[in-house]
Chains A and B, each alone.
Chain A
Amino acid sequence: MSNKNLVVSDLKVHFGGGKKILPGKKPTVHAVDGVSFTIPAGKTFGVVGESGSGKTTTALAIMRLVDITAGTVTLGDTEISALEKDELRAARSRFQIIFQDPYSSLDPRKRAGEIVRQPLDLMSIGTPAERAEAVSELFTQVGLRPEQQHLFPHQFSGGQRQRIGLARALSTRPDLIVCDEPVSALDVAIQAQILNLMSNLQQELGLTYLFISHDLGVVQHICDEIAVMYLGQIVEQADRVTLFKNPKHPYTKALLEAVPTVHNNKRNRSERVRLVGDPPSPINLPKACRFASRCPRAEARCHQEIPPLEENEAGHKVACFFSH
């Protein structure tokens, strides 16, 4: 077995910049600004953060669906970030994605079977007869009936559509599946079905997942290691037990406290710390801690220096001056 780890190193994705017709430079949006992590094969790596934190852009950059400004992405021995054209297309069979919205991510004019079959056709995997068989197998694998191939997406419920999306991603037998909020558009009862299906498939096929979500409960359940992103950077990263038991970064703490749970009741909500305001714009970023403007613990130093992401315990990285 060859090495199938995903290694992301100092990934940057900036939008805009360059000259425009009127005087002055177009503003640059620092969507992802120096993100590094490694996902061991067969594991699930979670990325959490608020909207605008860069988690989806990270996913798209790894999928090569947005242009990478700097940094490298390597899957096993292949440097994904260096591939171009035909090579890239051929390599795409090894990394696939499932999207958040099961309604808009399936072509309404194609039958379900054709949607699942399309990656196989595009990448010329197997003979046509083998492809048909593979599609039937995939349908069974994700809990649909093979005869449902002949239906159109609108004839399926949200949960079933997400299963089709999953079958499409699995069709090329990828090593890595990027899951961008795969269950957040689904009803709670259906969420559990999809999450269980994803864990079972992972065990069966040895899949590696990059799991993007804003739902910390889901992330805690499904991920092995979790990175918390804020304004394009990772502010804390640890395994699932450590991160929730011993969060170090004030932003992680605030995120955890914001989640409503059935164990809380009306009386003890008021005692918790609350984040105020919205994240600053990713255009004019301060040359300091990016969280300082909303941080309850911020001191003068936080507004002047950038706290590095440092490992202060085995496997637990934090970017905060007060984490020790």
Chain B
Amino acid sequence: MPTDATQPLLSVKDLVVDFKTRAGNARVLDHVSLELSAGKILGIVGESGCGKSMTALSIMGLVPNPPGKITSGSISLDGKELTGLDEETLCDIRGSEIGMIFQEPMTSLNPVFTVGEQIAESVRVHENASAQAAMSRAVEMLKAVDIPEPDIRARAYPHQLSGGMRQRVMIAMALACRPRLLIADEPTTALDATVQAQIFDLLQELQQETGTAIVLITHDMGAIAELADDVAVMYAGRIVEKGPVSDVLSRPCHPYTQGLITCVPHLVPDPPLQREALREIPGMVPALTNLGSGCAFEPRCEKAFAKCKTAKPELIQIADSQLGACWAPGSDNT
């Protein structure tokens, strides 16, 4: 598949998604723009309700409609527009060109089919493979995700596997048709740290081998630091900061990004004897139905001043390739 080197594989432009709720119209995504080149990993971070999972669902064409609706904007995969496609075409794309890994492997696997059958299903559907060929691909995929005795495990049901194994099965399923884009929505949140490390290693290995681009959705800045090339920080449906991981983590310009990094107790090899209170981000995420005209983060921001209440900051260039949406961007002594 020829890909223009200069053109990003995935390009989301000014995506706006609205949900009708009883409390009024909720703008869950507000002019979100993202680019991802082949072979790269893009991280999206934020608190629950910030729109990170909704971004993933929009790309997959899975926004529940009604009540949700893509109001404007475009999503293109390798130059092909995905918004406005009919369900049948979307079904062809899902699984074959875009794979997805969900957060909870137990609820996303079907308990009454063996894991081999579930992996083989997408191969049969998308590649018209025979049942036998699809099954041998399933075994091959299980082997690729480091599951011991893959031909025996293919006949196991989800409940017979551990959490880490199930997530490996999910990855095998998502990658069975060799998609060019993989969306991983909190792939390790339900797992132990040691298993999480294994899954990260696996994702990175597979990504280097196959050149699949990955959108990694997480709330863990540590995971972003370890895996991603670029990161987008979302708050209340908007991207508030975007740029290369090393820049954003070392010089976060948005107070929310700074807060996200400092409010987590980070593991250090040499903890000080005196413990300081953690820096908090006070308050909580606002309701999306009445965000007002100012910056959505203003009520929780310690640097807020008059202008923040009245005008919404646009996402503008702060440094070389770092973008931020703040009236007083600046790095903090983090």
**Chain A residues at the B interface, C-beta cutoff of 8 Å:** 50-51, 157-159, 187-193, 195-196, 199, 214-218, 220-222, 240-241, 244-245, 254-266, 269, 274-278
Contact = CB atoms under 8 A, between A and B. Distances in A.
A240 B196 CA distance: 23
What are the 8 closest A-B residue pairs judged by CB atoms, nearest first?
A260-B222, A221-B265, A258-B197, A192-B263, A189-B281, A192-B278, A50-B192, A187-B47
B197 A220 contact: no
A187 B266 contact: no
B278 A266 contact: no
13 contacts: A189-B47, A189-B284, A192-B278, A192-B279, A217-B266, A220-B268, A258-B197, A262-B249, A265-B226, A266-B229, A269-B200, A274-B197, A278-B195
Task: Kindly name the residue among B259, B261, B269 whose own CB sees the greatest number of chain A CB atoms within 10 A.
Answer: B269
Contacts of B201: 269, 274
Contact of B264 (A193, A217, A254, A278): A217
Given A51-B192, A221-B275, A254-B194, A278 B260 contact: no
A190 B193 contact: no
Contact of B265 (A195, A269, A278): A195
A265 B284 contact: no
Nearest to A197: B280
Interface in B283-303: 284-285
B246 A265 contact: yes
Contacts, number: 139
B249 to A, nearest CB: 5
Given A217-B264, A258-B197, A159 B284 contact: yes
A241 B272 CA distance: 7
Interface string B206-232: 000000000000011111011101000
A265 B225 contact: yes
A276 B265 CA distance: 27
Contacts of A157: 284
A240 B271 contact: yes
Given A241-B273, A260-B200, A275 B194 contact: yes
Contacts of A221: 265, 275, 278
